[in-house]
Amino acid sequence: MDAGLAAVLGATVGALGTAAAGATAALLSRSTARHQVRTETLRALRESRRATYVSYAKTIDHYLDRLATTLIPLERVERFPDQREVWTENAHKQWKEALRYRQTEVDTQRVLLQLDATRSVAEGAQQVAKWCVLLSRATGRAIADLKGQDLDTGPLSAPSPNYAQLLVDEGFDPEKPDLERLRARTREAYNAFLSAAAADLGENSILA
């Protein structure tokens, strides 16, 4: 092989090696860029979900505190029967405020959660919603019984079949369910939601 041919072949091999190295570097660069984009997308999705879960959890926690405040005057009706009307009206006022909060803040947060949540978290939120409704209705009925009329000032009516059946299915007396036990079950559902949300995010707690 003469020197000229060797030089040409050497240059060709060198060029091919350089091209191959360049192509490999380009592929590696594109793969790294794709990985970075995917990582950022997942991070943004996780942060979005976390913000939604936390907002919903705080709203529910506040709502349950409001309902718990409603139960205080109901307990005092039995302890101070001579002030029955005063405590009943106090309970009614607190209950209406809690109901208004649920129909605005809680329902809004629930819709946002359903748009953002994974299935396990959405199912946990659905259980929370069920127990919140049961607790609210049972509290309202307890107040109505004390007033001797429904809270819309109409005649006192029997529990709706669906509501009564749900209570029976969960082991409660549909006529006079234990409000404290209902509140405890609602808190359990809330804590189960927190656990599902934390597991979805890979965290120990979403409210930490």
- Note the residue count of the chain: 208
88 belongs to a structural domain? yes
**pLDDT tens digits for 65-86?**
999 999 999 999 988 989 999 9
Given this model, what pLDDT does residue 185 score? 97
Please give the torsion angle defined by the CA atoms of residues 53, 56, 57 and 59, in that order, rounded to the nearest 10 degrees. 160
Residue 34 lies in a domain: no
Residue 123 lies in a domain: yes
For residue 66, what are its two tokens? 């409001």
- Predicted confidence (pLDDT) at residue 8 exceeds the cutoff of 60: no
What pLDDT, on a 0 to 100 scale, did the predictor assign at position 156?
84
For residue 101, what are the contacts with CB-CB under 8 A and spacing of at least 6?
A: 62, 63, 66
Look at residue 58 in the predicted model and tell me its pLDDT.
96
If you average pLDDT over residues 122-143, what whole number do you get?
A: 95
Class of residue 92 by CB neighbours under 10 A (exposed 0-12, middle 13-18, buried 19+): buried
Higher pLDDT, 208 or 190: 190
pTM for the whole thing? 0.78
The reply to whether 25 falls in a domain is no
Distance CA 157, CA 82 (A): 26
Q: Which domain holds residue 53?
A: 49-201
pLDDT tens-digit map of 170-193: 999 999 999 999 999 999 999 999
Q: Write down the pLDDT at residue 121.
A: 95
For residues 56-64, give the mean pLDDT: 96
Whether pLDDT at 36 is above 60: yes
Report whether pLDDT(54) > 60: yes
Q: Does 162 fall in a domain? A: yes
Whether pLDDT at 158 is above 50: yes
3-state secondary structure 135-195: HHHHHHHHHHHHHCCCCCCCCCCCCCHHHHHHHHHCCCCCCCCCHHHHHHHHHHHHHHHHH
| Residue 175, domain CATH | 1.20.120
Structure token pair of residue 131:
């127990």
Residue 197 lies in a domain: yes
Average confidence score pLDDT of the chain: 85
Number of domains in the chain: 1
Q: Are 145 and 173 in contact (CB under 8 A)?
A: no
7 in any annotated domain: no
129 falls within a domain: yes
Give the number of other Cβ atoms within 10 Å of residue 173's Cβ.
11
